[in-house]
Chain A
Amino acid sequence: MINPQVRESLKKHGILDDNSLQLYVPCIGRIPPEFLLKALKNGVKKIVIVPCESDKCRFNVGSNVGVFRLILLQRLLRQIGLDSDALFFYRYFIRAQINRHKCIGCGNCAYTCPGNAIKIVSPGIAQIDEESCLGCGACVSVCPALAINLEGFENDLILGAISRYRPLIEEIKVERKKPVIAVFYCQWANFPAPDKYFTYTEDNVIFFEVPCSSMINPLYVLKAFYEGFDGILIAACKKSECKFEKGNEIAEKHIKALKDILKQINLGGKLEICFVAPRYLGELDNQIKLFIEKLNNK
């Protein structure tokens, strides 16, 4: 599913509408031109590719290589008479934004930012350098005043989405008698096949995607417990594999501190963090199964 912010932007420009099919890949470099040709042959009229900005590619060269390959394809298509609208690009990159009216100048964000993109300027407000912002959201999770938001993943959006599950949670608990689990996963730690949204198909597991595990605010976890989730599993990238260097370490620190507090109201064992990678097929599924078993044995 496409980032809602990107979708709004594409809709506004008349590029996307409700008939559009959304596919999702870990990197544009992954798309073989044959796949797109097949789509066009089978009746798709318009293909939009949304790559990361070239200097922000998490795989270093994926964005450039992918775009280059697809530009060649674009030219070939034109030579056989296809509209230039049949295949085109729309570069997008999400950034963090600081609400200066809420900022209390504590400096947590400036210290945590892996891109060194934030400075605290007198008289005590944080400022982001948009060019350097990597869009990971680590600043969001350490802000005590809730003054920073990541485009498309705003705090209110996520908290609202969590609270909307309350009736479904009650239904699952009462009628299907199963524990309800929330899985907050980093988009790089878990990657289902392009035509499947999630690998895990049980109905009592609800997934929330974030751009980096460092963005997971303790507030989201608390809100999830508050709305009735029985257990929360965080899926982060394996050590030294974080695309933003230390995002998974930041997430681990948050979860550890949170478990200490939650222990005091008997919820310590209901929150766990695991470290997975998409190249190990089924790894996250296994972690979820283990987590549910552990919860059921309590």
Chain B
Amino acid sequence: MIVVKAKPLEEILGFLLPYENILVVGCDGCTQPPRGLREATLYSMLIEMGAKIKGKMNLKCKATSVAKQCDNHICSTTLGPQLEGVDAILSLACGVGVQTLTEVFPEIPVFPGQNTIFIGSQEREGGILYEKCKACGECLLGETGGVCPVTNCPKGILNGPCGGCVDGKCEVPFEVRDEMGKVVKTVTKDCAWYLIYQRLKKLNRLDLFRKYRPPRNRAISSSPRLSEVV
């Protein structure tokens, strides 16, 4: 699913203070953490309270949620009837949702409440989200035993570990950042190719490990991109 991180309230209030009737729209789709009706209601109260503190007393905020903000038909049919009198929308969806709402309702400014950061999954126990897929367009998970070297190797190499793999660990420190982008700590992670080797050995498919892979065709993963529906 698409991993998002909440934008600071200061930034969101900056977007919304020029307006008076705001609709916060959540998404029941795939954002991680989920940003459904509850988050939308939470934000609507936070924004009204935050606006009052800044002296804007007549700002009113309502909350709703859409099944999938990336679907323009769902947005126009279910959200359209709720936009009476609304002069700005705060979307809690990923970047796709914000853009879809803009396309479907071009007269109303739509602001993002989240920063979309990567495609990833949740490691439930510790509550940490990891990037798992870079949407590179040339999936080689079938040759690497299900471990992705494109997202897990900081150098993105394709033919086995580099010399910096020591005791199965990667020499490049993994930087963990806060929502302002500042590095808060670095951790040591496993070498992706070390994991791939172990996995393929377990599956008895070291022939796949030994296969030669030429450099990726970056044109496939460069933006802008589109895909014909198949």
Contact = CB atoms under 8 A, between A and B. Distances in A.
Given A104-B36, A144-B34, A261-B9, A226 B42 contact: no
A145 B124 contact: no
Given A219-B41, A222-B42, A223-B45, A144 B36 contact: yes
B124 A144 contact: no
Given A111-B124, A265-B53, A222 B46 contact: yes
B92 to A, nearest CB: 10
A259 B108 CA distance: 32
Contacts of B67: 104
Nearest to B47: A265
B28 A145 contact: yes
A277 B108 CA distance: 53
Given A219-B41, A219-B42, A145 B53 contact: no
Contacts of B157: none
A106 interface: yes
A96 to B, nearest CB: 16
Contacts of A218: 38, 42
Interface string B23-50: 0001011000111111101100110111
Contacts of A261: 6, 9, 46
Contact of B37 (A108, A111, A146): A146
A143 B46 CA distance: 19
B91 to A, nearest CB: 15
B10 interface: yes
B173 interface: no
A264 B34 contact: no
B37 A265 contact: no
A24 interface: no
B182 to A, nearest CB: 15
A144 B46 contact: no
Contact of A143 (B6, B9, B38, B124): B38
A226 B36 contact: no
B37 A222 contact: no
B65 interface: yes
A219 B43 CA distance: 10
B8 interface: yes
A146 B38 contact: yes
A225 interface: yes
Contact of A145 (B9, B10, B36, B46): B36
Nearest to A223: B45
A226 B67 CA distance: 27
A42 interface: no
B16 to A, nearest CB: 13
Contact of B34 (A106, A266, A267): A106
Contact of A226 (B28, B37, B38, B48): B48
Contacts of A146: 36-38, 41
A145 B41 CA distance: 10
Nearest to B36: A144
A108 B33 CA distance: 9
Contact of A144 (B8, B37, B50): B37
A144 B40 CA distance: 9
Given A104-B28, A264-B8, A265-B9, A144 B38 contact: yes
A217 B37 CA distance: 13
A219 B38 contact: yes
Given A219-B41, A222-B46, A264 B10 contact: yes
A261 B8 CA distance: 8
Contacts of A108: 34
A266 B46 CA distance: 11
A104 B48 CA distance: 27
A108 B29 CA distance: 14
B70 to A, nearest CB: 14
B49 A145 contact: no
Contacts of A223: 45
Given A145-B65, A219-B41, A264-B10, A226 B34 contact: no
A219 to B, nearest CB: 6
Interface string A207-249: 0000000000111001101100000000000000000000000
The 10 A-B residue pairs with the shortest CB-CB distance in the complex, in nearest-first order? A144-B34, A144-B36, A264-B9, A104-B28, A265-B50, A145-B36, A106-B34, A226-B45, A222-B45, A144-B38
22 contacts: A104-B29, A106-B34, A111-B124, A143-B38, A144-B28, A144-B33, A144-B34, A144-B35, A144-B36, A144-B37, A144-B38, A145-B34, A145-B37, A145-B38, A146-B37, A146-B38, A217-B38, A218-B38, A225-B49, A226-B45, A264-B10, A265-B46
Interface of B: 6, 8-10, 26, 28-29, 33-39, 41-42, 45-46, 48-50, 53, 65, 67, 124
